Structure 1
Amino acid sequence: MRYADPYAVAGQWYKGNLHTHTTQSDGRLAPEQVVAWYDQNGYDFVAITDHDTFLDPTPLQGATRMTLIPGFEFSRGVIAEAHMLCLGVRQVYGGSYQEVLNFTRALGGMAILCHPNWVREDLWSPDLMVELHDYAGIEIYNHVINRLPGRALATDDWDAMLTRGYPIWGYANQDAHRPEDFGHAWNMVLSPTATISDLLYHLEKGHCYGSTGLVFADIGMRDGTIQIRLEDEAEIRFVGPGGQVLGTASGRQASWLPDGQSYIRVEAENAAGQRAWSQPFWRLSE
């Protein structure tokens, strides 16, 4: 029985945040300040995604070594409504959720559904998500929700979708609005280069993982076994359909032999509460 390995690609790891706001919408820092913070704190890429506003990052690119990904957050100007990130696009557009997803795809971009458990548990319910197509995945962790109504974590919604057979990816983002929001979640992308096109391609293909501080030193399949190695000690969990924990291990490394489950993903958490989430390893059709 074979499983798809989302990390079986050549490249190097790049660190970045895909959900960031500036004074062009409801952020507290000017675009120049936002770019400077990420540049000074070791990020390789950042997407500025102001609400229903396109901020052209091109004039800012000369001031940073990072890759600046264009995009915006589709929110219809409404707070308590489901939002989505439209990345790799250079204009704002509207319509129904599916129309926005269609526009994003037509323009060569990728879309991520934002903070499923913000405000209320069914903001992005699995029943709603299955009606849509052409999005890469969902925010399984959105840091800013820790200071807002709702839950930052959305792995329950993720597992609900994966269990139904929808191969979507999970992303961890800061949704940074204030200085205190910065630096608490990010995505590590395995890509040959840090160009916009390469980063978006590998993000959309799931060659990445989300983190709030833990780092996978190595992750992938070896001889049919999922193997991981962390840079720090942590509790490691292998999760399958229905969010069931199939097995656990403590330490810096662990392995798991899949036993016919439709998917298996890995999550880890250390004593300080820092986490990392792998993408799912999907069982392939024979």
Structure 2
Amino acid sequence: MLTTFSLASYLISILVSLTPTSPAKETKHWYKGNLHTHSYWSDGDEYPEMILDWYKTHQYDFIALSDHNTLSRDEKWVKVVKSRMYEDSFQNYLKRFGENWVTYKIDSGRTNVRLKTYPEYKQKMEDQRFLIFAAEEISDRFEGKPLHMGGINLQNVIPPQGGSSVTETLQHNIDAVLQQRKETGIPMFPHINHPNFYYALTAQDMIGLHGERFFEVYNGHPQVHNEGDATHPGTEALWDEINIAYHKRGQPLLLGLGTDDSHSYHQFGSAYANAGRGWVMVYADSLKPGSLIGALERGDFYASSGVILKNVTLNNRDIAIEVQPETGIKYTIEFIGAQKDADKSSVLSRVEGTKAKFKVTSQHMFVRARITSTKLKENPYKDKEVEMAWTQPIEYGH
């Protein structure tokens, strides 16, 4: 299966979205989205509509508000914290959406605000150019370890399923999402969140899983340790180790997402989990849940923390990458993979520049691309972070 992505298609899609077209004329386009975001419905510090408004005005095409263990459909009130920052936040919310929309009351001198539910904010904020997924961060634990998993396009909330080990706990939650998909006939998927958050997960924990296709190779929260440390591998090393095992047993490869995991919307810097740090660029035929999920499951996407790709060609024989360059910025394109019968991955080829190609052969288990720029991120989650992108691993002949 040949997939070709182009920046031109993404730009055209913006124009197309402004002019109605018939389904017969639809072609594939780039869609930018974030699948891991928090609001006042759990441990975020902003109203859902304000968060959605930020992503919408920053040219995202889709978003998932994935609060912990909720689909945001009950009644919930929050008390405005007595501080200038949060009192100003409420006033900004009131100013942006108006007295006819915002539901609040004053009790004993304190302002209490009713949070809008998913059906309410979806109807208010979604349109033909902006999709809002129903989502939940299924937040479980085993022996004190935080085991978090995104559930995207869920129709019913899934309580943490528990288990007698890390792997079993994860598997039970994966199974619950897949069972709901089977019962409803609606596309949805689970994805493992931030494996290095408190270093809760090891490669072996995830190698034992079945039915899991996605994990976060990049997460913009300052406590997730994407790079690992002296005694723990980074997420890329985990990714490759898992995929070596998956390949050897004929299991579909694990695919890598980029996300924000945003919680903080009023204080900014590397100490805070801010919006805009990581995302996915999905190449799909429409901005509809089934189309986006289908493209994700085919691997027709890349993860990014800032680098934009002009062209990506992936098939079962070749990978070709072309970066959309910025003036004064240098790029390194690395093809990373595992040779047949290898125990670990390695850099198979490295090119300094904006274009590179790699031929996948029967001697490779899988190959993926990592693109690193010299551009420092404006609001990094760690000191001296540079913008990057990651394509999905491909197998020869698959």
Instruction: Tell me what 2:355 maps to.
Output: 253
Instruction: Tell me what 2:140 maps to.
Output: 76
Instruction: Tell me what 2:209 maps to.
Output: 132
Structure 2: 5+ residue runs without aligned partners? 6-26, 74-117, 163-169, 182-187, 228-233, 269-273, 339-343, 376-385
CA distance in 2, matches of 1:222, 1:95: 37
1:57-104 CA deviation, whole Å, 9 max, x = no partner? 332233243100111001137884121101110222231332221221
Instruction: Tell me what 1:160 maps to.
Output: 241
Opposite residue 277 of structure 2, the aligned amino acid is H
Equivalenced residues, count: 278
Larger Rg: 2
Instruction: Tell me what 1:24 maps to.
Output: 41
Opposite residue 88 of structure 1, the aligned amino acid is N
1:166-210 CA deviation, whole Å, 9 max, x = no partner? 511110111010124100110000110011121122112221110
Structure 2 residue 171 is the aligned partner of structure 1 residue 98: yes
Match of 1:19, SS? Answer: strand
Trace 1:160-179 onto structure 2 (pairs within 5 A): 160-164=241-245, 165=247, 166=251, 167-179=253-265
Structure 1 length normalisation: TM-score?
0.90
The 8 Å contact of residues 269 and 275 in structure 1, kept in 2 or not, is answered as yes
Instruction: Tell me what 2:32 maps to.
Output: 15
RMSD: 2.2
Trace 1:1-286 onto structure 2 (pairs within 5 A): 11-56=28-73, 57-61=118-122, 62-65=124-127, 66-76=130-140, 80-93=145-158, 94-96=160-162, 97-108=170-181, 109-120=188-199, 123-144=200-221, 147-148=222-223, 150-151=225-226, 154-164=235-245, 165=247, 166=251, 167-179=253-265, 180=268, 181-221=274-314, 224-232=317-325, 233-241=330-338, 242-259=344-361, 260-272=363-375, 273-284=386-397
CA distance in 1, matches of 2:291, 2:321: 24
CA distance in 2, matches of 1:281, 1:240: 9
For the structure 1 residues 224 and 203, does the alpha-carbon distance in structure 2 shift closer, same or farther, using more than 3 Å as the test?
Answer: closer
1:137 CA drift (Å): 1.4
| Greater percentage in helix | 2
The answer to which structure, 1 or 2, has the higher relative contact order (CA under 8 A, 6+ apart) is 1
For the structure 1 residues 21 and 253, does the alpha-carbon distance in structure 2 shift closer, same or farther, using more than 3 Å as the test?
Answer: same
The 8 Å contact of residues 112 and 135 in structure 1, kept in 2 or not, is answered as yes
The 8 Å contact of residues 6 and 206 in structure 1, kept in 2 or not, is answered as no
Structure 2 length normalisation: TM-score?
0.66
Opposite residue 259 of structure 2, the aligned amino acid is N
